[in-house]
Structure 1
Amino acid sequence: MLLKKPRTIALRIFQSTVPRLSFVVAAFIIASAATVSVTAAPIVLPALPEPVSNNAVASVTIDDTQYVFSFMGLGKGKTHKDVHNRAWQLVINNKDKPLQWQALTPVPSSLALKGRLASIAVGVNDSIYIFGGYTVDENHNEISTPEVYKYAPVTGEYKLLTPMPVPVDDATALVYQDRYVYLISGWHNDGNVNLVQVYDTQTAQWQQASPFLGSPVFGQAGGIVNSTMVICDGVSVTPHSDKRRSFAPETACFKGEIDKENPFKIDWRTLDHPTGSARYRMAAAGDKDTSKIYFVGGSTNPYNYNGIGYNGEPSTADDAIWIFDIAEGTWVISKTEAEAPTMDHRGLINVNGSWYTVGGMLGAQLVTSKVIPHFSTLAEMSCLSKSQASSGVSKQGSDGQAVEVVKTASNSKCQHQNNINGEK
């Protein structure tokens, strides 16, 4: 298939200048910067008890205690035998004791095979909602499960909810108004769907929202801030007359605006792509504090669940971070602060202003148990506050192709801104 022609994104780096300030004001700024720098240091979170990839991850905060979860996924062997339904929980609070993952009751299922890949989980108020996924048998047959479970961290119990109207896996799940969960596109048994299925956590009912206007995809990523969502990339299906279907990266981003009067009406618009090169299974999330949506990792070579590309080539992880500023309507490209880039994700977790991936794959398709910090938004907000004293402003050119990025020399964080057989 023909991919969207890459658009050139020119990054012009400006060295900010700080006006002369009184000694008292200058001292205050230096002290504040030091405080932010210390606060922005990420918490070292322990590794999972076992390596896992393509796991559903989510987080919820209850009574000032944050809970981080990993549900199901793929073990280090990367075969159908390594697909499991095990679950883990990490409790993060202010108590002075070591952090440690705790084993949970495995995720239940009515299917013969209990383990699942490409499930998606989100936190809503005091509960975690787990959607779909697919099973893989020894003959590589795959089935998308319709089941939806609600997990209560306080009681440790799963509750089976109303099933999805159309079972999907490898979809994107976004939460609106701490009530509605939007399942966008994804794979259903034999192909992709363009559906936006909305689950109302208050009424336990499903409704269809305005369909996704891009090509139906699986393995895409997205985030939401208030009523604005952004969905990027994934994999589309290419039909052929003389051979079985094939899969191709879909280089496309879309912005959806949810109607404030009708949560099932979405105004979808095309959005300039940040790089012109699609990525598969990124970790992504929106951040209300910065009004930005972040995309981390993933691979430019779509792959089967074992990390080998549909083109037969081993896939590798990308180290870039894409940042979409909703207010400015601009993209900024940065790089992960992790020692190594990661891929094969189903979520991005915020812990005290630092953003983590939980498990996934490292280089050479190595399944990892690590919980990896990639960047800090507290450090970014410090840079943004400093840049207000500069003459430069972050904007997109009138032709939609140029982005100016303000950097300050006084903070190192600111300096950093810059399957072959047709199986799914």
Structure 2
Amino acid sequence: MGANIPVSVDDQVVAVWNDSLIYSISGWSTNTNVKNVQVYNPTVDTWSQATQIVGPGLFGHSGSIAGNLIVYTGGVKIQGFSFLIDNRTWLGQINPNNPLDITWTEIPNTPKATYRAASGTFGSTILFSGGTDNPYNFDGIGYNGIPSAPDTLTFGYNLAWDYWEFFEGSPFATMDHRGFANCWSFYYTIGGMNENQEVIDEVKYFNILADLPSVRENESIPLDFKLSQNFPNPFNPSTIINYELKITNYEFGKLTIFNVLGEKVKEFELAEPRGSVVWNGTNSFGEQVSSGIYFYKLETVNFSETKKMLLLK
């Protein structure tokens, strides 16, 4: 058993940095929320205190780490004698030379307030799914006396482009989670609570690549943005992908090929506002890849879309 955490907490965000340190962020402690960020080093079995959060102390919030960046959102704050949901989102920049030094800033609010949602990391995006906007104690009955219901929405904060995006096709409608278990591009929740406030034994998962396209918050697909289905499809040995972008965005655009495990196979930088990309079934090293399903994702500063293709040999 490891060393005891200095300040007792539960219902906090727990995330791993650089496969070396475990961060415990805020949470409930005995009779109130705390703002502590407590860092565990399993190599030497010690705890240290990092820079405290600058927002309110929370419990039931969700978050994760990508690179040197922490993102957390939602949860419940205490105001007077009330437990109130908070939809603000906070970004923590970890100093890699001193991981206890964190610079906290507020970033755009989450699209919808969340409580006890599953959270995890995919590339440079922090994902959130399920949870509820009606916080409760242990029995699924809200502090307002109304039974809580889970949300089906899956969304994420894209750290590369600094915007919220939504992901379609999510199978989740459960709450009372703390995090995802993820294997490559597949994300799993185990158990949780359903719309009848019942603890369940279900295992749910989705493939984040297959469940795109994603759209930026408050935006529909722009008329001058187009990602065509590759042709031919299925294909061998090569296929053509046509695209069309807004003039002001194409300089920041890229098209990326992924395999079904979510691993990047090849990336193309876009040199023109409209054009074609030819993929000959090779990876970034010029090596031929195996037959199977692949995904191609077109991403700009304010929009991304993904489609599926099949390579046959």
Equivalent position SS for 2:105? strand
Partner residue of 1:225? 66
Structure 2 counterparts to residues 140-179 of structure 1, below 5 A: 160-179=1-20
Give the match's secondary structure for 1:342: coil
Is 1:363 the counterpart of 2:261? The answer is no
Q: How many angstroms apart in 1 are the aligned matches of 2:211 and 2:244?
A: 17
C-alpha contact 1:336 1:375 (8 A) present in aligned 2: no
> Is 2:31 aligned against 1:190?
yes
Aligned partner of 1:331 among 164, 167, 174:
164
Q: Does 1:208 align with 2:49?
A: yes
Q: What amino acid does structure 2 have at the position aligned with 1:178?
A: D
Match of 2:273 in 1: none
Tell me, in whole angstroms, the C-alpha distance in 1 between the residues paired with 2:173 and 2:140: 14
- Map 1:315-330 to 2 at 5 A: 315-330=148-163
Identity in percent: 33
Superposition deviation, residue 260 in structure 1 = 1.4
Whole-Å Cα distance in 1 between the matches of residues 139 and 242 of structure 2? 46
- For residues 384 and 217 of structure 1, the distance between their equivalents in structure 2, rounded to whole angstroms, comes to 44
CA distance in structure 1 between the aligned counterparts of 2:2 and 2:106, rounded to whole angstroms: 34
Q: Deviations over 1:118-149 (max 9, x none)?
A: xxxxxxxxxxxxxxxxxxxxxxxxxxxxxxxx
Residues 290-346 of structure 1 show CA distances to partners (whole Å, capped at 9, x for unaligned) of 3211000100000111100000000001111111111111110234521x5111102
Show the counterpart of 2:298. none
Distance in structure 1 (CA, Å) of the matches to 2:229 and 2:6: 46
Corresponding position of 1:372: 204
Residues 278-287 or 183-192, more deviating: 278-287
Match of 2:113 in 1: 278
CA contact (8 A) 2:7 2:29 kept: yes
Q: Which residue does the alignment assign to 2:181?
A: 349
CA distance in 1, matches of 2:166, 2:204: 19
One-letter amino acid of the counterpart of residue 359, structure 1:
G
Q: Distance in 2 between matches of 1:179 and 1:374?
A: 28
Output the TM-score relative to the length of structure 2.
0.69
| 1:380 Cα offset (Å) | 4.7
Tell whether the 8 Å contact from 2:213 to 2:305 is kept in structure 1 after alignment. no
How much has 1:201 moved relative to structure 2? 1.1
Q: Is this contact kept in 2: 1:319–1:335, CA < 8 A?
A: no
Cα separation, 1, equivalents of 2:76 and 2:40: 24
**Using the alignment, how far apart are the partners of 2:117 and 2:228 within structure 1?**
25
Contact 1:354–1:378 (CA under 8 A) maintained in structure 2: no
User: 1:302, 1:310 within 8 Å by CA — same for their partners in 2?
Assistant: yes
1:131 corresponds to: none
Partner SS state of residue 196, structure 2: helix
State the match for 1:55 in structure 2: none
Moved over 3 A (4+): 377-390, 392-395
Aligned equivalent of 1:133 = none
- Pick closer, same or farther for the CA change 1:381–1:205 going to 2, 3 Å: farther
1:303 counterpart = 2:126:
no
Helix, strand or coil for the counterpart of 1:307? Answer: coil
Partner of 2:296: none
Q: How many residues align?
A: 236
In the TM superposition, residue 388 of structure 1 has moved relative to its aligned partner by: 8.4
Letter in 1 for 2:14: A
| TM-score normalised by length of structure 1 | 0.52
Contact map agreement 1:250 1:278 (CA 8 A) in 2: yes
* Structure 1 gap segments, 5+ residues each: 1-159, 240-244, 396-402, 413-424
Deviations 1:2-47 (CA, angstroms, capped at 9, x unpaired): xxxxxxxxxxxxxxxxxxxxxxxxxxxxxxxxxxxxxxxxxxxxxx
Which residue number in structure 2 is paired with residue 251 of structure 1? Answer: 87
**Residues 226 and 378 of structure 1: CA distance in aligned 2, closer, same or farther (over 3 Å):** farther
Greater helix share, structure number: 1
1:405 equivalent among 297, 300, 303: 303
Q: C-alpha distance in 2, partners of 1:327/1:352?
A: 19
* Unaligned ranges ≥5, structure 2: 215-226, 231-240, 253-300
Alpha-carbon distance in structure 1 between the residues aligned to 2:245 and 2:48: 48
Q: Is the 8 A contact 1:320 1:336 kept in 2?
A: no
Deviation at 1:389, TM superposition (A): 3.4
Deviation by residue 1:369-418 (Cα, 9 ceiling, x = unmatched): 011014423665998998883315599xxxxxxx843446x659xxxxxx
Shift of the 178–406 alpha-carbon distance from structure 1 to 2, 3 Å rule, reads: closer
SS of match in other structure, 2:243: coil
